[in-house]
Amino acid sequence: MEHIKTIFIEETGSTIDFLRYYRGEEGTRMTVVCAENQTAGRGQGTNRWESEAGKNLLLAVKAYPKNVQARRQFVLLEAGSLAVKDALERHTDGISVKWPNDVYHGDSKISGTLSECTIAHGLVTSCIIGTGININQRLFAGDAPNPTSLAVINGKDADRMEVLGVFIRRLSAYLDMIDGGHHDDIHAMYKEALYRRHGIHAYRDKDGEFDATIESVSPNGMLTLATADGKRREYAFKEVSFIINSNQSNNK
């Protein structure tokens, strides 16, 4: 894959920060940086991404998509989430994408993603997707409510480089689809992969707890929930929480 450059580093503050000012080589459509350790890895908002050095995958991808309008930039996050799902499904069943961008095994979080896009003249000129995937870490000391890893799930270590290789190949394939204008196809795959895509489940918003089903996710990433009385509620990210059990909620 000559159009993909992969950089391995021992330690960095954040893989996203590393790539933010990285220009890449001429003709490279995608640059991947993978670190053994992050000293300032970030989750959503003020959260910190916990990862034991040398145990997991800490990576960021800088891509240069073609003809992605700013209002459709969510398709890049969809592609990243689907690529993580594809890589993990080689090792276990029960993988889904929790809106908007986490990857879950059952009701436990195995991967989280942040993204930032550069916009010019209404188009995405570049996009950085930063992802942490829990591979071989077995103990989590932080305050994340529901982390898991492939080693916890399967009771044995997994080959991190194999997972990385599948992720890169699948993301490259999704980027090819995006460059070809197949945004709706990726959006359909994303919706089919959603955590809680079937059934009635518990949520919480500014007005309190309620039960609802996922009705849809719009192409710009808005989530629509339908309550039992037929009312529809639309949310942007951070406006609603998934209640995973009676003691916790998660919208990270």
CATH number at residue 218: 2.30.30
The model carries a pTM of 0.92
* Angle value at C-alpha 118, between 114 and 124, nearest 5 degrees: 100
∠ CA 79-137-246, rounded to 5°: 75
Q: Which DSSP string do the residues of 46-81 spell out, in sequence order?
A: T-B----TTTSEEEEEEE--SS-BGGGTHHHHHHHH
For range 74-89, the mean pLDDT: 98
Q: For residue 95, what pLDDT band results from cuts at 50, 70 and 90?
A: very high
Is 232 found in the same domain as 179?
no
- Average pLDDT over every residue of 23-33: 80
Average pLDDT over residues 140-152: 89
Residues 118 and 148 in one domain: yes
Pair (229, 119) in one structural domain: no
Give yes or no: residues 22 and 86 share one domain.
yes
Backbone angles phi and psi of 141, in degrees to 5: -95, -10
Please check the confidence at residue 53 and state whether its pLDDT lies above 70. Answer: yes
Q: In one letter, which amino acid is 110?
A: I
Question: Looking at 192, 220, 237, which one is the last position of a domain?
Answer: 192
Q: Are residues 179 and 238 in the same domain?
A: no
Residues 28-51: what's their mean pLDDT? 76
CATH number at residue 28: 3.30.930.10
251 lies in some domain: no
| Domains identified in the chain, total number | 2
Pairing of strands 30-38, 4-12: parallel
For 174-212, write each residue's pLDDT tens digit: 999 999 999 999 999 999 999 999 999 999 999 999 999
Domain hosting residue 222, numbered range: 201-246
Task: Indicate the pLDDT class of residue 246, thresholds 50, 70 and 90.
Answer: very low
DSSP code at position 89:
T
How many CA atoms does the CB half-sphere of 233 hold within 13 Å? 21
Q: Are residues 232 and 136 in the same domain?
A: no
